[in-house]
Amino acid sequence: MMKKQLLIVGLIVGLAGCGAASNSVTTAPQVPTSPDAANLAGYCVDTEPIIKPVIVGLEGNMWSINGDGTEASQLTTVKERTLIRDAAWSHDRKTLAYSLMLPPIDLAIPWLQSSIVCGVDAATGKGSLLAYGNIDVSLSEPSWASDNQSLYLTRRRTLLDAKNQFVGEEIAVARYALGSNQETVVVEGATTPALSPDGQQLVYVQPNVEIGFPSLMLAKLDGSNAQPLGQPDPPFKSIVAPRWSPDGKSIVMTVGGGPGAIGGGAEPTLAWWEVLLGVEIASAHGEPVSLWQVNASDGALKPLAQNIDDGRTAWNPDGKHFLFIHGYDGLMEYTLATGEDRPLTPVQPYWFLEWASH
C-alpha cells in the first residue's frame, strides 16, 4: 500500500512538473477561475495542538516527532484524494504551513490538479487557508517571511490549449500576502525558495541555460542582485531542498551528480511514466544523491553525506546537527563536527521533513 501511495505522489508531482513554458500558448478560456475560498478552506484540516517540533510526511499526512526521533504521532487525517506535500514552520513557531494537493476541481479536466497552502495554529490545532490560486495553479515549498505575514512559494501554472490539452507550464517563485492572498512574482522560472533566518536573503533554484544545469541562487527578497552560489565542476545535475543553517551562514542542499557522484554522472534508468511526466531524479528514488554545504558569503562548497536516497534535510536549532531522510530507511542525524550520521527512527518512507530551527 505504501509503495502505491508513493507512486501516486510521483505521478502527481510529475504532472505538475512536465514540460516547458511556451509564449505561443493560448490558455483555454473556460479554465481557470479561482475556486471559492470558503470551499478550499474546507480541505484545511484541524489537528491536535502541536507540541513536538519535528514534522514529517508519512502516508499522505503530517506526523510530529521529537528531535531525537521518538514518540511519532499522526497530526492530520486529510480528506480523500488529497495529499500533503511539504511543510514549514513560521519564524515564531505559532503556525505550521503545508502544501496540500487537491482532487480535480474541474471534472472536464480530471488530470488537472492544484495545490493550496493551509496552516495549522500550533497552540489550538485549528486549520486555515493561507494561499491559493486558480485551478491551474499548484503552490508548494512554503518559506515564511520574517514578519510571518507572507509566504514565498513555488508557483506552477499549467498551460492549456483551446482543447484543454497540456502544452507546458509557467514556473516562478512568488510571494503571497496572508489575508489578501495577493501574489507578487519574485523570480520567473525559479523554484524552491528559502529565506534566511534573519529574513533578509533569499536562495532559490533556477535553471542555468549557459551550463545546462540548475544553479543555487542568492538574492535580495525582491529577487534583485541575484548571484550563483557554489558552482562545482562537474556541475550538479539537480538541486532540491536548500536549507539555511540557524546562524544564516550556510545552506545545506540535496544534489544529484556533481563531484564524486555515484555512477559516474550517468543518467539513471527511469520508468516510461517517469520519463513521460518529467519526474525529477531526486524525487524519483533513482540515482543516489548527496548532501553538500555551501557558504553563503563566498559560495565555498563542502561535501557531507554521500550516496543516500532522497536526502531532504532539517536543521537542529543548535546548528551542530541536522536530520535527513534516507529513502525508505527513515530519519538520520548528521553531526557536522565529525561527519558521522546515525539512524534515529525505525524504517519509514518519509517524503518531507521540517524542524523549527529559527
> Which helix (H) or strand (E) covers residue 13, if one does?
helix 2-17
Q: Which of 201, 243, 206, 230 lies closest to 218 in space, CA to CA?
A: 201
**What percent of the chain has a predicted confidence (pLDDT) above 90?**
65
Nearest C-alpha neighbor of 123 from the set 92, 167, 159 = 92
10 Å Cβ neighbour count for 101? 23
Q: Which of 29-38, 294-303, 308-317 has the lowest mean pLDDT?
A: 29-38
Lowest-pLDDT choice from 83-92, 117-126, 285-294, 339-348: 285-294
Check: pTM over 0.75? Answer yes or no: yes
Beta strands in 72-114 (DSSP E): 73-74, 83-89, 95-101
| Between 277 and 52, residue with greater pLDDT | 52
Does pLDDT of 21 surpass 70?
A: no
Average pLDDT over residues 52-63: 94
CA distances from 6 to 60, 74, 197 (A): 9, 18, 32
Assess contact for 157 and 173: CB atoms under 8 A: no
Half-sphere exposure of 271 (CA within 13 A, CB side): 11
Mean pLDDT of 310-326: 93
Residue 17 host element (H or E): helix 2-17
Average pLDDT along the chain: 84
> What is the Rg, in whole angstroms, of the alpha carbon atoms belonging to the chain?
19
- The pairing of strands 95-101 and 331-335 is unpaired
CB-CB contact of 249 with 295 (8 Å): yes
The C-alpha atoms of residue 332 and residue 45 are separated, in whole angstroms, by 29
Q: Out of 166-170, 263-267, 315-319, which region has the weakest mean confidence (pLDDT)? A: 263-267
Residue 36 confidence (pLDDT): 84
> Could you report the per-residue pLDDT of 178-200, keeping only the tens digit for each?
999 999 999 999 999 999 999 99
pLDDT tens per residue across span 222-274: 999 999 998 898 999 999 999 999 999 999 999 999 887 765 433 444 444 44
Comparing C-alpha atoms, which of 75, 129, 128, 82 is closest to residue 101?
A: 82
Q: Which three cell numbers stand for residue 150?
A: 507572507
CA 66 to chain centre: 22
pLDDT at 263: 52
